[in-house]
Amino acid sequence: MEALNGKHKWLVTGCAGFIGSHLIEYLLKNNQTVVGVDNLATGFQKNIDDVLSQVKNPDFEFLKVDISKKEIFEVLQGKEFDYILHQGALGSVPRSIKDPLNSHQSNVDGFIHLLEIAREKRVKKFVYASSSSVYGDHPDLPKFEDKIGSVLSPYAATKKINEVYAGVYAHNYNLNSIGLRYFNVFGKRQDPDGAYAAVIPKWIAAFLKDEAVFINGDGETSRDFCYIKNVIQANIKSAISETKGHEVLNIACQAQTSLNELKDLLLNFLKEKGHDSKSEIEYRDFRAGDVRHSLANIDKAKKLIGYKPTHLIKEGLAEAIDWYIENVK
Interaction between residue 154 and ligand NAD (CB under 6 A): no
Cβ at position 272, least distance to ligand NAD in Å: 25
Interaction between residue 85 and ligand NAD (CB under 6 A): no
Interface with ligand NAD (CB under 6 A), residue total 28
Q: Which is nearer to ligand NAD, 17 or 58 (CB)?
A: 17
Q: How distant, in Å, are the alpha carbons of 15, 24, 38, 132 from that of 8?
A: 17, 13, 21, 30
- Identify the helix (H) or strand (E) that includes residue 110: helix 110-121
Single-letter amino acid code for the residue at 136: G
Interaction between residue 301 and ligand NAD (CB under 6 A): no
Interaction between residue 88 and ligand NAD (CB under 6 A): yes
Cβ at position 64, least distance to ligand NAD in Å: 8
Site for ligand NAD in 10-69 (CB under 6 A): 14, 16-20, 38-43, 66-68
Catalytic residues: 155
Inter-helix orientation angle 199-208/259-272, to 10°: 50
Q: Which is nearer to ligand NAD, 21 or 277 (CB)?
A: 21
Classify 292 in phi/psi space as left (phi over 0), alpha (psi -120 to 50) or beta.
alpha
Instruction: Tell me how far apart the alpha carbons of residues 299 and 305 are, in angstroms, rounded to a whole number.
Output: 10
Instruction: Tell me how far apart the alpha carbons of residues 255 and 28 are, in angstroms, rounded to a whole number.
Output: 31
Cβ at position 1, least distance to ligand NAD in Å: 19
**Could you give the angle at the alpha carbon of 75 between the alpha carbons of 72 and 80, nearest 5°?**
100
Q: Which is nearer to ligand NAD, 42 or 233 (CB)?
A: 42
Interaction between residue 222 and ligand NAD (CB under 6 A): no
Instruction: Tell me how far apart the alpha carbons of residues 15 and 189 are, in angstroms, rounded to a whole number.
Output: 12
Cβ at position 66, least distance to ligand NAD in Å: 4
Q: How distant, in Å, are the alpha carbons of 43, 54, 199, 280 from that of 192?
A: 12, 22, 9, 20
Interaction between residue 91 and ligand NAD (CB under 6 A): yes
Residues 6 or more apart whose CB falls under 8 angstroms from that of 164 comprise none
Instruction: Tell me how far apart the alpha carbons of residues 311 and 290 are, in angstroms, rounded to a whole number.
Output: 25
Inter-helix orientation angle 45-52/18-29, to 10°: 20
Interaction between residue 203 and ligand NAD (CB under 6 A): no
Interaction between residue 82 and ligand NAD (CB under 6 A): no
Interaction between residue 233 and ligand NAD (CB under 6 A): no
Cβ at position 151, least distance to ligand NAD in Å: 13
Cβ at position 51, least distance to ligand NAD in Å: 13
Binding region for ligand NAD (CB under 6 A) out of 81-89, 119-127, 170-178, 302-310: 81-89
Binding site for ligand NAD (CB under 6 A): 14, 16-20, 38-43, 66-68, 87-91, 106, 110, 129, 131, 182, 184-185, 191
